[in-house]
Homo-oligomer: A and B are copies of this chain.
Amino acid sequence: MPKKPQIPQRQARMKEVAVRARVSPMSVSRALRSPDQVSAETLRRVQKAVREIGYVPNRLAGGLKAPTRTQLAAAIVPSVRNSLFAATLQGLTDALRKKGISLMLGDSGYSDTDEETLIAAFLAHRPCGLTLHGTTHTAGARRLLQKSGIPVIETGNLTERPVDLVVSYSNFDAAKAMTEYLLRRGYRRVAFVGLPVAGNERVRERRRGYYAALAAAEISRDDALVLETVGGVENGARTLLQLMEIQPEVNAIFFAGDVLAIGAMMECARRGWDVPKRVAIAGFDDWEISRQFATPITTLDIPRYRIGERAAELMLRRLDGDKGKIAPIDVGFRIIERQST
Contact = CB atoms under 8 A, between A and B. Distances in A.
A125 B59 contact: yes
Contact of A104 (B9, B72, B147, B237): B72
Contact of A11 (B104, B147, B292, B294): B147
Interface string A130-157: 0000000000000110011100000000
Contact of A123 (B56, B103, B121, B147): B56
B292 A263 contact: yes
Contact of A292 (B90, B94, B234): B234
- Copies of this chain present in the complex amount to 2
B121 A102 contact: yes
Contacts of A149: 9-11
B122 A102 contact: yes
Contact of A59 (B124, B148, B292): B124
Interface residues of A, number: 62
Given A71-B124, A80-B93, 15 more contacts: A11-B147, A54-B147, A56-B124, A58-B126, A59-B125, A80-B86, A80-B90, A100-B121, A102-B106, A104-B105, A105-B105, A232-B288, A259-B288, A266-B294, A269-B269
28 contacts: A9-B147, A9-B148, A10-B149, A11-B147, A54-B147, A56-B144, A59-B126, A60-B61, A60-B64, A64-B64, A71-B121, A80-B86, A80-B89, A81-B83, A89-B105, A90-B107, A93-B105, A102-B104, A102-B125, A103-B106, A104-B104, A233-B288, A233-B292, A262-B292, A266-B289, A266-B292, A270-B294, A289-B289
